[in-house]
Amino acid sequence: MLGSSLSQLMSSSSSPHVQDQEVLPRPQTAFQLLVTCADLISQSDYSAAKRLLSILFSDSSPYGDSVERLVYQFVRALSLRLNRHGIPTSTAPVPGTVFSVVNRSIVSTCPPCGTNNKMLSCYDSDQETLRSCYLSLNQITPFIRFSHLTANQAILEAIRGGQQAIHIIDFDIMHGVQWPPLMQALADRSTNTLHPPPMLRITGTGHDLNILHRTGDRLLKFAQSLGLRFQFHPLLLLDNDLTSLALHLPSAITLLPDEALAVNCVLYLHRFLKDDSRELLLFLHKIKALNPTVVTVAEREANHNQPLFLQRFLEALDHYKALFDSLEATLPPNSRERLAVEQIWFGREIMDIVAAEGEGRRERHQKFETWEMMLKSVGFNKVPLSPFALAQAKLLLRLHYPSEGYQLQILRNSFFLGWQNHSLFSISSWH
């Protein structure tokens, strides 16, 4: 943990902002020091922030306990923010670096690309590394599986047996891991009724056509193994221009007669939050105009869209502390999967929230109240999630993540999954 050198720095610093922290209990905790450092940066006292960061960095580690690992990620993000202000630090990541965990070391897999904003976007350039991290995240934490399982159940209950055709629009389908369980459920349901399984079509959006085609091929093979009629339609999105997507959405989606439509927005809508919500509201209006049978929405239960840096920093520290604590309690200390997820997946998010500004900032999560208000404003009504969906989610936690720390709550007919008393993810169903 942080040693006496931190107390000496805090007591000897000439910065009035640092001196204000003397009222805090001594010795200062790592989180208090991180907040102090963020406050120094928000007050443009960069020299004092740099000195504090160097000591925080020396007393943190990506291989320590959850506190040390979390401090390490936030120190790197704050260092990158200082670099944006022209204050070079030895603790900032090398620009344009994607980190891979190899034999407990970190190696660069992406060439330098020059600027800090480019550094943040360059994290997306190594698709294979990100794919591996996403699959690890899906295995070692319940959050993605919980979202997929609950969304699938909402779709199954909204689209009853006897439907001849189902069309699912999955915004950012990634590797399609959500859909094999739903296909299996459709096949099982048909064996228990007089109705043949419906024709299933999935339109999956993404930014890489090769990944979309590979995803479609895997889903087709699985559907064929179940005897399901299946079609996959890749929809390539060249950028994050939500206005363009919204305007072209009706022509890009082909709907057939007597086809039940489900729209899946799992961990997707937050990407289009900006300082105002006009584009996102237009997008939601276009989805509503498609007259879907059901819309599923899953999002982080966090407010990382604050325009003020310090407030956003505090929200992020609170959110990721709970995430890191959950990983600490449920995985062994030498877990390489946890190391990769923390440094590559969560580390990328933390850097974006803390170091990026303006149009370059993408991780703009909002809490459920905001999504509820936005969806209702365009005419959506909430569909309560069923007792069976709740029992299924509880079974998932008990079988695959047997820790008393994970908690599932029902609020306003929606599900919230968190760690201890801290809600981290929400999922809801709409019509």
Check residue 93 and give its pLDDT.
64
The residue range of the domain holding 233 is 141-301+365-381
Same domain, yes or no, for 13 and 119?
Answer: yes
- CATH code for position 376: 3.40.50.150
Domain-located, residue 235: yes
Please report, as a single letter, which amino acid is at residue 372: E
Helices (H) and strands (E) in the chain, counts: 17, 11
Same domain, yes or no, for 104 and 222?
Answer: no
Same domain, yes or no, for 49 and 159?
Answer: no
Ramachandran assignment for 318, one of left (phi > 0), alpha (psi -120 to 50 degrees), beta (any other): alpha
Report the run of H or E that residue 56 belongs to, with start and end: helix 46-58
Same domain, yes or no, for 176 and 76?
Answer: no
Task: Give yes or no for a contact between 371 and 299, defined as CB atoms under 8 angstroms apart.
Answer: yes
Task: Give yes or no for a contact between 76 and 92, defined as CB atoms under 8 angstroms apart.
Answer: yes
| Among 65, 149, 48, residue whose Cα is nearest residue 394 | 149
Task: Give yes or no for a contact between 153 and 386, defined as CB atoms under 8 angstroms apart.
Answer: yes
Domain-located, residue 403: no
Check residue 191 and give its pLDDT.
79
Task: Give yes or no for a contact between 380 and 393, defined as CB atoms under 8 angstroms apart.
Answer: no
Three-state DSSP class for 358?
Answer: helix
**Which of the 8 DSSP states describes residue 164?**
S
Distances in whole angstroms, Cα of residue 104 to Cα of each of 29, 58, 334, 341: 27, 18, 9, 13
Q: In sequence order, what are the beta bridge partners of 422?
A: 419
Q: Tokens 């369980």, residue?
A: 181
Check residue 109 and give its pLDDT.
33
Residue 269 in tokens: 């809508």
Domain total in the chain: 2
Same domain, yes or no, for 204 and 330?
Answer: no
Same domain, yes or no, for 170 and 288?
Answer: yes
Contacts of 279 (CB under 8 A, 6+ apart): 242, 243, 246, 272
Same domain, yes or no, for 377 and 230?
Answer: yes
Same domain, yes or no, for 34 and 146?
Answer: no
Check residue 26 and give its pLDDT.
37
Distance CA 195, CA 317 (A): 51
Q: Between vectors from CA 336 to CA 141 and to CA 102, what angle results, nearest 5°?
A: 140
Check residue 128 and give its pLDDT.
79
Task: Give yes or no for a contact between 57 and 27, defined as CB atoms under 8 angstroms apart.
Answer: no
Task: Give yes or no for a contact between 169 and 263, defined as CB atoms under 8 angstroms apart.
Answer: yes
Instruction: Encode the chain (431 residues) as per-residue pLDDT tens digits.
Output: 444 333 443 443 334 444 444 443 334 688 899 999 999 999 999 999 999 999 899 889 999 999 999 999 999 999 999 998 888 776 666 444 434 333 333 333 333 333 344 444 444 447 778 888 999 999 999 999 999 999 999 999 999 867 889 999 999 898 999 999 999 999 998 877 777 889 999 999 988 899 999 999 999 999 999 999 999 999 988 766 666 777 777 777 888 888 999 999 999 999 888 877 888 998 999 999 999 999 999 999 999 998 899 999 999 999 999 999 999 999 998 899 999 999 999 999 999 999 998 888 889 999 999 999 999 999 999 999 999 999 999 999 999 998 889 999 999 999 999 999 999 999 999 99
Domain-located, residue 49: yes
Check residue 342 and give its pLDDT.
95
| Among 404, 327, 323, 414, residue whose Cα is nearest residue 372 | 414
Q: Tokens 């709409």, residue?
A: 430
Q: Tokens 């923010």, residue?
A: 81
Same domain, yes or no, for 146 and 253?
Answer: yes
Q: Which is it for the CA torsion 363, 368, 373, 378, positive or negative? A: positive
Three-state DSSP class for 300?
Answer: strand
Same domain, yes or no, for 331 and 373?
Answer: no
Domain-located, residue 410: no
Please report, as a single letter, which amino acid is at residue 327: L
For the chain, how many residues are written? Answer: 431
Domain-located, residue 398: no
Would you call the peptide bond into 198 cis, given omega within 30 degrees of 0 as the criterion?
Answer: no
**What distance, in Å, lies between the first and last C-alpha atoms of the chain?**
50
Domain-located, residue 420: no
Q: Give Rg (Cα) of the chain.
A: 23
Domain-located, residue 51: yes
Check residue 20 and give its pLDDT.
44
Domain-located, residue 387: no
Same domain, yes or no, for 187 and 56?
Answer: no
Same domain, yes or no, for 155 and 273?
Answer: yes
Check residue 196 and give its pLDDT.
83
Distances in whole angstroms, Cα of residue 106 to Cα of each of 67, 98, 272, 336: 20, 9, 31, 12
Residue 366 in tokens: 């909002």
